[in-house]
Structure 1
Amino acid sequence: MDANDKPHAVCMPSPAQGHINAMLQLAKLLHSLHDFHITFVLTRLNFNRILSTSAGDELPPFCNTVQSDDLINQPSSFDVLPDFRCEAIQDGLQRSDPNSGEELSELCDSVRNNLADHFRQLVKRLNHENRGPKVTCIVSDTYSSFTLDIAAEIGVPDVSFCSVSACGFWGFYCFKELLERGIVPLKSEDDLSNGYLETCIDWIPGKSMRLRDFPSFVRTTNPNDSVFNFCKDESENAKKANAIIINTFNDLEAPVLDAMSAQLPPVYAVGPLTLMCDKIRDAALKNFRFNLWQEESACLQWLDRKANGSVVYVNFGSMAVLSSEQLVEFAWGLADSGREFLWVIRSNMVSGDLATLLPAGFSSAVTSERGLLTSWCPQGEVLMHPAIGGFMTHCGWNSTMESISRGVPMICWPYFGDQQTNCYYACNEWGIGVELGNDVKRKDVEGLIREILGGEKGKEMREMTLKWKESAIRSTEPGGKSFMNMEKVIREVLLEDNKHI
């Protein structure tokens, strides 16, 4: 196919590490398996961080940078491959640090108020330059719905890509009705501890849940809470998309997917994307990642020295923030468990110098051969490693999908957002996780690590995780439901004019 005749998808992730990761997997699949020209859009802050963390890497994308007036003295684009380009747009954010949970309100305000005009200008430029084909479709994160009006202006389909779980999205989507029924906002801070969060919400199509199992942004007393209203409005806007793609598989979330399909545009479950991406043959594209932190791969060599199933992997994602007290409890729980562990501690996960925050005696209690601390790691490769026997996680959806895809049971410590909902399903519906309470105690950490790596409950969870892994693999194989859904959404929505079929 001539380069200028290819379908051209502009991919707009929400500007947080987990959303970027998921959208990149989808973009890789469109490019590698379906011959799409890709423009992948990052916000300025994340774009510059990715360039800085990749400095010195022998990767092809950063050798082709183009200067732009709107990013003075900064590159504004680079080529991953000849038909796969990354572009930056202004975001209005000035922080040099990566995103964290403490900055979420600022991030939501930026998406809502700052990105639309810059994205519109980018799409117009792409349609008037001679470097590639005209834009034929937009794939936007469900929480970047500002693209919908722009797609309508240029007359192309806009598919909403839901990078959270179906159950998490459905929780966000119900925010509007929770508000209308007077269930939220909370009447006072007392409702956080007086049993009100145990209220059963039994009118939700697909699944009844306690209020505490909804995405955590319901736990506000402020009717004008910016994050609550952002998630409510963005989820509601998904109704305007031509279709919704979601990184899950039918066997795992069938009741919720059915409920979504009854009220929303066509819903296509195409996951786990981790397994779909295993089919990409181009090694350079398959292994390419956008990281907001410098990746340290030495942990893989450390894991090579460990026995199968002997290591617990600890990673609370890209946005969780720990108090110094929580850090100490986790540290002693890991030390006292007597088990080997790999612990990811981001530079902005705790406030202060990590060396001084770790408890006295921790280093002498844990040798470098029993415990390894790292600031960021190639998680996909870590979870594939046979040495990993359990995953202590925040229950972000990418992490949950990767854990299922690799057959690794979870110790769940949700931080915020849809992670509470994912935790509920993992522990109570899917049988692949056990929850660690928010009030972290070292004895609980120790006990759950021992259980997941050697106890009867851990054995049961491992068996269930392997069953879900087998189901996920079947779904992503040719003829499987996710595989067919991917083919269908491309044929019926992204290529709706049939010009490129």
Structure 2
Amino acid sequence: MDAVAINNEKKPHVVFIPFPAQSHIKCMLKLAKLLHHKGFHITFINSQSNHNRLAKSGATNSTPGFDFKTFSDGSTADDGVEHIPTLAELWVHLATTFYNLFLDLVSGLETPVTCIICDGFMTYTNMINAAEKLKVPIILFYTMAACGFMGNYQAKALKEKGILPLKEESYLTNGYLEMKIDWIPGMEHIRLKDLSEMMLSADPNHLGLEYLSETAQAADKVSHLILHTFQELESSLVEEIRTIVPNVYTVGPLELLLNHISEKQITLSGYSLWKEEPECVKWLQSKEPNSVVYVNFGSIAVMSSEDLVELGWGLVNSNYEFLWIIRNDLVGGEPVVLPQELEDAVNKKGFIASWCSQEEVLNHPSVGGFLTHGGWGSIIESLTAGVPMICCPFSGDQITNCRQMCKEWEVGMEMGKNVKRDEVEKLVRILMDEGESVMRKKALEWKKKAEIATEISGSSSLDTEKLANDITKLSRN
């Protein structure tokens, strides 16, 4: 159903509830913009701190039919110094407060809510029960790959089979994690070690195992589920998930779907919680095609100062130019200070910034490779740009994403979590020297398939239309 058809009826009012992290917010904002373009009334709910940060990127400008609402996130101001809660602090805060905060917020909205699109990772706050209490249909949006979702979904089966929790901590190092899990279509021969490390504990009450199990199994309680992937990339997995949830929509890559909409028709812009530095793109302008390595470990991952130095020397010794994103809190929240010798060497070959417009950078002709932490937002953006990758996964679904990226999609290589300069140098050279004939070719093939999926008759375009139509039907019931 198109925007004109919906405008002739009562507009469905969809409330979005993102998990309070950069990649989740960005992904849900993009889908919200798409539905708004189709004539839906949108209310986007964010923590107060994240809303304030998002406002600086222009993402919260006043737009008819697109409202932003905030909830208290426990932030405080003392003597003019504001404390912005860490993700862990906010996670705990929401566990006990968000249910009632949400009900109060919805009750104060002028327009009745007709549908809730909730981040699957927010189901631990009892949002499914909240939807039942409000008598409003709820759709879960897992802003991740099908493989990431399915990996987490195995927590229950692994517990039932006695594989998890681990019998003892020694199982982490005695080869037990090499065990192959052979019952997941589309993830054949995946190993236990390729699943989230949050599952791999000898503690039967481990919070990570409980959380992943609860939030993934929430899919059993709903009839509609959204994934940020495209059918052609993970067809076997998507079909398997459709045996769990009757209605599954693949809506990725969202950026390509948005590209089909005129800029004049989208008044909201920006998705970043950090200030993006335009100097990054300006620096890239003078570089040769496929000559620059882009390095970014995302919005949450942290590393030691020793690993940072090893990474820096590996990049320098590769003899390739590089754009290196170093967040202010990348080294455990401590100020980042490079040894003078390394800083001098970096200044000759690279450019350092604290944040950038990643999609713009990845699509720049000079960028020939991406050294990433393997977050799904980064991987799908790299696939969309046709850029091969080196993956250094830190936690969560990054580990599963990395396995699929290397083994199934053949667009990258894995780097050890304990960063060594020789390994960084070697992998960067392979990526940039040999990527043209192997990984780069595969990456460009996936780029083309992503473009086809988001064309008018493509799988993701059709699923997005079906989603809009189904929300309208749900709103009438």
**TM-score of the superposed pair, with normalisation by structure 2:** 0.92
Residue 433 of structure 1: aligned partner: 412
Tell me: CA distance 1:355–1:117, structure 2 relative to 1, closer, same or farther (3 Å): closer
Please list the CA deviations of residues 399-428 of structure 1 after superposition, one character each: whole Å capped at 9, or x if unmatched: 111011110111001110000000000000
Q: Does 1:114 align with 2:97?
A: yes
Amino acid paired to 2:231: N
Kept in 1, the 8 Å contact 2:325–2:356? The answer is: yes
Residue 410 of structure 1: aligned partner: 389
- Written as runs of structure 1 = structure 2, the 5 A alignment for 1:270-419 is 270-283=251-264, 285=266, 288-351=269-332, 354=335, 356=337, 358-367=338-347, 370-419=349-398
Tell me: CA distance 1:353–1:112, structure 2 relative to 1, closer, same or farther (3 Å): closer
> SS at the partner of 2:438?
helix
Residue 26 of structure 1: aligned partner: 31
Residue 84 of structure 1: aligned partner: 66
Tell me: CA distance 1:29–1:458, structure 2 relative to 1, closer, same or farther (3 Å): same
Tell me: CA distance 1:307–1:119, structure 2 relative to 1, closer, same or farther (3 Å): same
Distance 1:446 1:471 in 2: 31
Distance 2:310 2:118 in 1: 39
Distance 1:284 1:216 in 2: 42
Amino acid paired to 2:163: I
Amino acid paired to 2:359: G
Kept in 1, the 8 Å contact 2:223–2:245? The answer is: no
Residue 123 of structure 1: aligned partner: 106
Q: CA deviation at 1:265?
A: 3.3
- Taking only the aligned residue pairs, the percentage that are identical comes to 42
Residue 83 of structure 2: aligned partner: 96
> SS at the partner of 2:103?
helix
Distance 1:159 1:467 in 2: 32
Distance 1:177 1:26 in 2: 31
Amino acid paired to 1:149: N
1:162 is aligned, of 142, 148, 157, to 142
Distance 2:431 2:286 in 1: 21
Q: Does 1:48 align with 2:67?
A: no
Kept in 2, the 8 Å contact 1:92–1:114? The answer is: no
> SS at the partner of 2:30?
helix
Q: Does 1:35 align with 2:39?
A: yes
Amino acid paired to 2:205: N
Kept in 2, the 8 Å contact 1:90–1:114? The answer is: no
Kept in 2, the 8 Å contact 1:491–1:498? The answer is: no
Residue 172 of structure 1: aligned partner: 152
> SS at the partner of 1:496?
helix
Tell me: CA distance 1:140–1:352, structure 2 relative to 1, closer, same or farther (3 Å): closer
Q: CA deviation at 1:61?
A: 3.7
RMSD: 2.2
Please list the CA deviations of residues 188-213 of structure 1 after superposition, one character each: whole Å capped at 9, or x if unmatched: 33222221111111233443310011
Tell me: CA distance 1:366–1:495, structure 2 relative to 1, closer, same or farther (3 Å): same
Distance 1:110 1:266 in 2: 32
Q: CA deviation at 1:60?
A: 8.0
Residue 473 of structure 2: aligned partner: 496
Kept in 2, the 8 Å contact 1:28–1:286? The answer is: no
After TM superposition, the structure 1 stretch with the greater mean CA deviation from structure 2, 297-306 or 153-162, is 153-162
Q: Does 1:135 align with 2:140?
A: no
Amino acid paired to 1:426: M
Kept in 2, the 8 Å contact 1:45–1:96? The answer is: no
1:263 is aligned, of 244, 261, 265, to 244
> SS at the partner of 1:438?
coil
Kept in 2, the 8 Å contact 1:172–1:232? The answer is: yes
- Written as runs of structure 1 = structure 2, the 5 A alignment for 1:102-251 is 103-104=87-88, 106-126=89-109, 129=110, 133-145=111-123, 146-208=126-188, 209-251=190-232
Tell me: CA distance 1:353–1:227, structure 2 relative to 1, closer, same or farther (3 Å): closer
Distance 1:267 1:355 in 2: 43
> SS at the partner of 1:251?
coil
Distance 1:284 1:395 in 2: 32
Q: CA deviation at 1:155?
A: 2.6
Tell me: CA distance 1:306–1:19, structure 2 relative to 1, closer, same or farther (3 Å): same
Distance 2:160 2:474 in 1: 40
> SS at the partner of 1:135?
coil
Distance 2:71 2:246 in 1: 29
Distance 1:125 1:84 in 2: 16
Q: CA deviation at 1:97?
A: 4.7
**TM-score of the superposed pair, with normalisation by structure 1:** 0.88
Q: CA deviation at 1:363?
A: 2.0
Distance 1:11 1:282 in 2: 22
> SS at the partner of 1:250?
coil
> SS at the partner of 2:67?
strand
Q: CA deviation at 1:323?
A: 0.8
Q: CA deviation at 1:2?
A: 6.2
> SS at the partner of 1:367?
helix
Distance 1:187 1:240 in 2: 30
Q: CA deviation at 1:107?
A: 4.2
Please list the CA deviations of residues 77-128 of structure 1 after superposition, one character each: whole Å capped at 9, or x if unmatched: xx3x1211111012346683574xxx54x444334322111111111111xx
- Written as runs of structure 1 = structure 2, the 5 A alignment for 1:441-452 is 441-452=420-431
Amino acid paired to 1:222: D
Q: Does 1:8 align with 2:21?
A: no
Kept in 2, the 8 Å contact 1:452–1:459? The answer is: no
Kept in 2, the 8 Å contact 1:138–1:156? The answer is: yes
> SS at the partner of 1:301?
helix
Q: Gaps (5+ residues) in structure 1?
A: 63-78
Amino acid paired to 2:459: K
Q: Gaps (5+ residues) in structure 2?
A: 1-5, 77-81
Distance 1:193 1:92 in 2: 39
Distance 1:449 1:462 in 2: 13
Kept in 1, the 8 Å contact 2:22–2:272? The answer is: yes
Q: CA deviation at 1:395?
A: 0.9
